[in-house]
A = this chain, B = another copy of it.
Amino acid sequence: MAVNEYPFPKMHPVKGVKLTAVCAGIKKINRRDVVLFELAEGSNVAGVFTKNAFCAAPVTVCREHLAAASIRYLIINSGNANACTGEQGLLDAKATCAAIAELKGIDAAQILPFSTGVIGEPLPLAKITAVIPEALASVNENGWDDAGAGIMTTDTRAKGFSEQFEYQGKVITVNGIAKGAGMIKPNMATMLGYIATDAKIAQPLLQELAREAADKSFNRITIDGDTSTNDSCILIASGQVDLPEVKASAGELYEKLRATIIAAYVYLAKSIVSDGEGATKFVTVAVSGGANRDECLAVGYAVAHSPLIKTALFASDPNWGRIVAAIGYAGVDSLDANKVRVHLNDVLIVENGGRAATYTEAQGQAVMNGAEIGININLGRGNFVETIWTTDLSYEYVRINADYRS
């Protein structure tokens, strides 16, 4: 069951970005499993990738190509992750790029390849290259819906974002699509995200924005703590809107664009959490009062990853003892338990090293009965704040992940 629906919106076109999804029959016949982006000349592209030491072949190739050339195409296949495929995997990812480069007379480094699906199986290269001509012929500015569906694997629904704003009479668009059912299946559910705007942004600033937005979104969601071999998130600026280049010093335009890009990332990340398989609760863990960012994150992840807390959330049980225990073992140096305050939504449950005097089980129960739950922790030792989104842990989670492959 998916909670807290984040609907796939009506997608506006993004000037300079054409896309499509075609059927290559990688895993299923008649499924649009290859997505192609075509970017206008002069587009800038930035990326944030998995830090997994077993990163997939396409991730390695993406990093190389982003550093080497101006990107014109992105090709994404679902159904096969091309991960843990050794040297052959690298050759296959590069061959995919070469096939496009040859047909378009460009350099292979101008293409970024992405794969998502089963780990450890050789990429069915011939199936993919066979549909590249069809994909190149069919790219169009209204292909966002097809692309959003085409990158899905175990997702129960496509994830999309589209917003426009005006600046000096010109309309700027920010679109995004993503896939991932909460990283709960690295074999099949890599997190992929593609966010595009038609504003003009130089590559270094774009990379800064891509990093900042990912840190505030995809890097703050967790279903079970596992990180995929293929996670990738790309930010595209086509520069096709007739406005000057957006610089960090540009004031209003920059701030508006930055806010919209971050909003896109956050919306897509939350869409992924809310589609976590087996999820019945959408949980926001907000840690404030930290002496630094790292300790806020350590506490947030300790709470968000605790199977004990997650099963209690599934049971709608306001089991504050488990929350307190997780805060306590998060490894925060010299944490003074007496200064920690914990709220469930706005209900104070813990202070002075124990249950708040004002707290009643009925108050906690009322919060836990909802589908959206906020666990708000103040460490009482500084001004840093971090927020993490996660889900509960249900029978369904075990069933899906135990039954998968059987």
Chain A interface residues toward B at CB < 8 A: 50-55, 83-86, 89, 118-120, 184-187, 224-229, 305-308, 311-312, 314-315, 317, 319-322, 324-330, 332, 335-338, 340, 350, 352-355, 393-395, 397-399, 401-406
Contacts and interface: CB of A to CB of B under 8 A. Distances in A.
A69 to B, nearest CB: 26
Nearest to A405: B317
21 contacts: A52-B329, A53-B337, A54-B327, A54-B328, A54-B353, A86-B352, A86-B354, A119-B321, A119-B324, A120-B355, A224-B307, A226-B326, A227-B329, A229-B328, A307-B307, A311-B398, A312-B402, A315-B401, A315-B405, A317-B404, A393-B398
Contacts of A319: 187, 405
Nearest to A308: B226
Nearest to A351: B86
A225 B321 CA distance: 15
A308 to B, nearest CB: 5
Q: Which 5 A-B pairs have the closest CB atoms?
A: A119-B321, A54-B328, A315-B402, A52-B328, A311-B401
Nearest to A316: B406
A324 B120 CA distance: 10
A307 B352 contact: no
Given A319-B187, A395-B395, A227 B354 contact: no
Contact of A84 (B119, B185, B224, B321): B321
Contacts of A403: 315
A329 B51 contact: yes
Contacts of A51: 329
Given A229-B328, A335-B53, A185 B354 contact: no
A334 to B, nearest CB: 8
